[in-house]
Amino acid sequence: AGLAVLLKAERLFHSSYHSQAVHIRPICRVIHRFAQFPCGGFHDASCLAVSWELRQTLTVVFDTFSSGQGKKDWSLFKMFSRTLTDACPLASQSKVYVDISPKSKEKELLEVTPAPASVHEAIVQGDKRTYAVYDLLSPSLFNTSRSLNVQLKWKRPQDSSELPTPVLHAQRYVSGYGLQTGEISTLIYNTHPYRAFPVILLETVPWYLRLYVHTLTIITKGKENKPS
């Protein structure tokens, strides 16, 4: 039910990229403070009760541009072979966000259907982004139709060779051979004109390579950089 309806195995594993992750961390639910000062501050604090937070994420990248013969149009049904029919009964919130940020001031270039009930704006990597929001818990969402198939269409043909360059992107290659000269090189590019970003790099190592952590070197603009 809910967003899990879209998790069709043969569609996910035939995508260009997919990543599954489970994050578990302790969170203090009740804090006991003591040694209060006259000014209202506390000298120390201790945790009386701890809760555990479980966060599951699934990231999928579909290459709809090449599979659609150079068209940027897409829909939930084209990507997942399924549509959304209802919300998960256990969910306190279930929402779909669609990035409808215009590349230029010409907002009329793209059209998202059905029309969203609300729009959310946020700052992502220094840029203002606009998102169409579909609330699966809203009773009016499924009034007109029994299923939700979000579609994004471009009202006029776009230049097939013009693909926007992401602010952060990476390339990786394996060079050399054997334990002596073999190495993995990862190039991370930041195309933002003035802003720097923290980067967390998760590396998938091929089974036939043995890595030695002490040989790790990070070069930024010709100078060696120390990772945290």
153-170 per-residue burial string, b: 16 or more CB within 10 A, e: under 16: eeeeebeeeeeeeebeee
Total domains in the chain come to 2
Position 23 in a domain: yes
What is the Cα–Cα distance from 14 to 179, expressed in whole angstroms?
A: 33
Cα(144)–Cα(114) distance, rounded to whole angstroms?
10
- Identify whether residues 150 and 53 lie together within a single domain: yes
Q: Give the amino acid at 142.
A: F
Give the rounded percent of residues in the chain with a pLDDT score beyond 90.
18
pTM: 0.64
Mean pLDDT, rounded, for 198-223 = 83
pLDDT of residue 100: 87
Residue at token pair 């990543």 = 19
Q: How far apart are CA 26 and CA 54, in angstroms?
A: 9
Residues 145 and 172 in one domain: no
Per-residue pLDDT at 38 exceeds 70: no
Confidence at residue 222, expressed as pLDDT on a 0 to 100 scale? 87
Residue 159 in any domain: the answer is: no
What band does 64 get if pLDDT is binned at 50, 70 and 90? Answer: confident
Q: Please state the rounded mean pLDDT for residues 32-45.
A: 59
Q: Which helix (H) or strand (E) holds 9?
A: helix 9-12
Q: Is residue 162 part of a domain?
A: no
**Together in a domain, 45 and 136:** yes
pLDDT-derived band at 36 (thresholds 50, 70, 90) equals: low
Which pLDDT belongs to residue 226? 79
What's the confidence (pLDDT) of residue 52?
Answer: 94
Same domain as 114, residue 86: yes
The pLDDT score that the predictor gives to residue 97 is 93
Identity of residue 28:
C
Average pLDDT for the chain: 82
Instruction: Report d(CA 155, CA 54) in Å as an integer.
Output: 42
pLDDT, tens only, 90-129: 999 999 999 888 766 555 678 888 988 899 998 887 778 8
Specify the pLDDT at position 162: 59
Range of the domain at 118: 3-154
Reference 170, options 213, 199, 129; nearest CA is: 199
74: phi then psi, degrees, rounded to nearest 5: -155, 165
Across the range 147-159, mean pLDDT stands at: 78
Q: Clarify whether residues 175 and 134 are in a common domain.
A: no
CA distances from 21 to 18, 57, 58, 59 (A): 10, 5, 7, 9
Which tens digit of pLDDT belongs to each residue from 170-201? 888 888 877 778 888 899 999 888 888 888 88
> Cβ–Cβ contacts within 10 Å for residue 80, how many?
19
How confident is the model over 128-145, as a mean pLDDT?
Answer: 85
